[in-house]
Amino acid sequence: MNPTECQELLDGYLRWLKAELSASVVSDACELTTPFLDRHDDHLQLYAKRSDGKITLPDDGYIYSDLLASGLEFNTPKRKAALETTLNGFGVRLDDRNHLVLEANPRNLGQKVHSLIQAMIGVNDMFLLAQSQVDSFFFEDVRSFLDAHEVRYIDRVKISGTSGFDHAIDFLIPKSPTRPERLLQTINVPSKSTVTSYLFTLTDTRNARGTDFEAYVFLNDEDQTVSASTIEALEAYSVVPARWTRREQYVEALAG
């Protein structure tokens, strides 16, 4: 492309952006509707309010509350860190009402509006986190649960199997005077493939260790149903299928 074509491309984008932006007065604020969409295909909106000579730009709490309503809570250190990293990248803060907020002045207003829009998109996209990140969040939830109930454990243990492969065990709970050693695994998305993979790990590990231990699996059933076939498959291999929504039932067996 030549310089003229590049300029035409830029001009076209700016024309589209200007045509799709709209503003209206709502109470004491200016409501700005942008052409950018959230994961529901709704237009992102932000607000501008004058206070003490400054312009405050909040999203009115929409992005954060939408994630909470969808089941993504920022209630562990790793989740909070992921949120803070996203916000810090755009200079945005989360206030005590869970609003995404930026401070601006007339000279940098356009830049700050753009930064807030990008932060809103970035935080909104946290709902679409890579599966490995979501799995990590569930692992953190389980670890917090064990800590809250003073369960002794070693996490992220590598154990060699008879195949020669090393297997990562999420939690190893040592033997006690009343209970044998316990291996606890977490499965965020219980499915045929994830359960089959775990059962290979368990069988390979069980054959190699040659010790008596109990096997538990926490299955995340917060937003999904665990099938009967999944439960049956685990039980067939002497694994306790612990549904996460019923986790309090397993405290005695894990803490003993």
Per-residue pLDDT of the chain (256 residues; tens, 9 = 90+): 777 877 887 777 678 888 888 999 988 889 999 988 887 888 999 999 987 778 999 999 999 998 887 767 777 777 788 888 889 888 999 999 999 999 998 888 888 898 898 899 888 877 665 455 666 778 888 999 999 999 999 998 888 877 777 788 899 999 999 999 999 999 988 887 788 888 888 888 877 776 678 999 999 988 788 899 999 999 998 899 999 999 999 999 999 8
Pair 156, 168: CB distance under 8 Å: yes
Q: Which two tokens stand for residue 149?
A: 């109930």
d(CA 217, CA 236): 13
HEC-encoded secondary structure of 107-168: CCHHHHHHHHHHHHHHHHHHHHCCHHHHHHHHHHHHHHHHHHCCCCCEEEEEEECCCCCEEE
Phi-psi region of 123 (alpha: psi -120 to 50; beta: other; left: phi over 0): alpha
Return the CATH number of 131-255, one of 3.40.710.10, 1.10.10.10, 3.30.470.10, 3.40.1350.10: 3.40.1350.10
d(CA 17, CA 11): 10
d(CA 210, CA 189): 29
Domain with CATH 3.30.1460 in the chain: 18-128
State residue 130's pLDDT score: 47
Return the CATH architecture of domain 18-128. Answer: 2-Layer Sandwich (3.30)
Pair 154, 172: CB distance under 8 Å: yes
Domain with CATH 3.40.1350.10 in the chain: 131-255
